[in-house]
Amino acid sequence: MTTDKPILPGATIGVLGSGQLGRMFAIAARRMGYRVHTFSPETDTPTGQIADEEIVAPYKNLDAVREFARHVSVVTFEFENVLSATAEAAAEFAPLRPSHSVLHTTQHRLREKTFLEKHGFPVTPFKTINTLEDLLAGLRAFGCPAVLKTAGFGYDGKGQVKIKSLDEAQAAFAQATEQERVLEAFVDFECELSVVAARALDGAFTHWGAVENAHHNHILDVTIAPARVSEKIAQEAVTITRAVLEQLEVVGVLCVEFFLTRDGKLLINELAPRPHNSGHFSFDACVTSQFEQQLRAVCGLPLGATTLLKPAAMANLLGNLWQDGEPAWQAALALPEVKLHLYGKLAPKPGRKMGHLTAMAETADAAAALVRQARVRLLRNS
């Protein structure tokens, strides 16, 4: 179903998925007077705790999906591993934004990279892998190390393995799932950047600038805004991002993740067709957050200003912080320019994103130092 009429406050927004991204989206939506229904197989979820209604059913239950979509004015999603059939079923009864075609392309690494390459975007070199012979040929072409990834349903380093020599190829191939796989050349990068941006129904475009990301164990650890790179690189990253959103005809929010190579070239690592972990700082540090902007875009409203009020940094809080008991929240919050966001997850687990801290300061360096200091203060034995 399609409609270009604005969806105004008081309407109900449907969210496929129920994690922390949906939670922060629901907070923004309810603040602006919308109702929110969330659909996922889980109960008492981060999104469900904020939503007006939490529908609990498997994504494969297409009758339940259709019934969910009948009672909302528009459907969006908060993670891209929604089944294609689920998205199509929802779209029968309400506009789906971003569209099924955007979801279809970006939820599968091989389709995504092929799309980017076909349209001339700078992308990490890759090869399709179906057999061990494909893998060996790819390793000889790219050299070692290289990274073997499942083509679909991967995030935070899941479904990927780094191959350091040809001797490791057989074991790496054997431990992979039956899904299609993709081999990527290893990039010796200077830093990782991302640009979160939004595109409206009328083609209007906004962005939160290039931000700098540091990862630990394949999970985003700290984001610094703005990125500490040259204005030329920052602007180039935004220009590429805009072209990606326009080529995909995105209505909503999308993040483009980049490698910045040591010789100053930007390569797209991956796309995320939704608000992104690296944009969480915008909740506190910008005129309009990525979550409010997602709402505005999918509802056909004018986009808000994305002005960065102050340099900021975000640090993820993983379940590991709870290993010695409840973190010392008061110690971190004694730093007055630090903000705490917890996602309402029921049980902390190592590597599980439980929340984040945002710090604001006069410079990006100072914000990064402050947010790291705040996170250390959470440790009981610090």
Q: What is the CATH number of the domain that holds 18?
A: 3.40.50.20
Instruction: Kindly report, residue by residue over 99-118, the tens digit of the pLDDT.
Output: 999 999 999 999 999 999 99
341 falls within a domain? yes
Per-residue confidence (pLDDT) for residue 170, from 0 to 100: 85
Mean pLDDT to the nearest integer, 17-24? 98
194 and 159 in a common domain: no
Q: Are residues 211 and 353 in the same domain?
A: yes
Residue 115 lies in a domain: no
Asked which of 134, 154, 185 is the last residue of a domain, the reply is: 185
Structural domains of the chain, count: 3
**Using N-to-C axis directions, what is the helix angle for 84-91 and 62-70, rounded to 10°?**
40
Both 155 and 221 in one domain: the answer is no
In a shared domain, residues 339 and 319: yes
Of 52, 76, 96, the last residue of a domain is 96
Co-location of 258 and 350 in the same domain: yes
Phi and psi, residue 239, nearest 5°: -60, -45
Q: What is the pLDDT of residue 1?
A: 66
**pLDDT for 339-368, tens place per residue?**
999 999 989 999 999 999 999 999 999 999
7 domain-assigned: no
pLDDT at 154: 60
Per-residue confidence (pLDDT) for residue 153, from 0 to 100: 63
Mark whether 343 and 241 lie in a shared domain. Answer: yes
Query: For residue 369, is it within any domain?
Result: yes
Report if residue 4 sits inside a domain: no
Q: What is the mean pLDDT of residues 255-272?
A: 97
Q: Are residues 263 and 293 in the same domain?
A: yes
Other Cβ atoms within 10 Å of 327 Cβ, number? 22
- Are 205 and 227 contained in the same domain? yes
Looking up residue 329, the CATH number of its domain turns out to be: 3.30.470.20
Average of pLDDT values for 75-84? 92
| Whole-number Å distance between alpha carbons of 18 and 39 | 7
CA distances from 53 to 9, 18, 62 (A): 17, 11, 18
Please state, for a pLDDT cut of 90, what percent of the chain lies above it: 84
Domain endpoint, select from 76, 96, 116: 96
Residue 159 has pLDDT above 80, yes or no: no
Task: Examine the domain organization and report whether 72 and 91 are in the same domain.
Answer: yes
Please write the tens of the pLDDT for every residue from 21-31.
999 999 999 99
- Beta-sheet strand order (sheet of 35-40): 53-56, 35-40, 12-16, 74-77
C-alpha angle with apex 111: 120 to 298, nearest 5 degrees? 90
Are residues 76 and 166 both part of a single domain? Answer: no
**Average of per-residue pLDDT across 259-274:** 96
SS3 207: strand
* 330, 210: one domain: yes
Can you give the CATH number for the domain in which 173 is found? 3.30.1490.20
Asked whether the whole model's pTM tops 0.85, one would answer yes
pLDDT-derived band at 175, boundaries 50, 70, 90: confident
- Domain range for residue 325? 189-377
State the average pLDDT for the chain.
94
How big is the chain by its Cα radius of gyration, in Å?
21
Highest-confidence segment of 57-61, 82-86, 140-144: 57-61
Question: Is 108 a domain residue?
Answer: no
CB atoms within 10 A of CB 267: 19
For residue 157, the model assigns a pLDDT of 55
Q: How far apart are CA 22 and CA 36, in angstroms?
A: 10
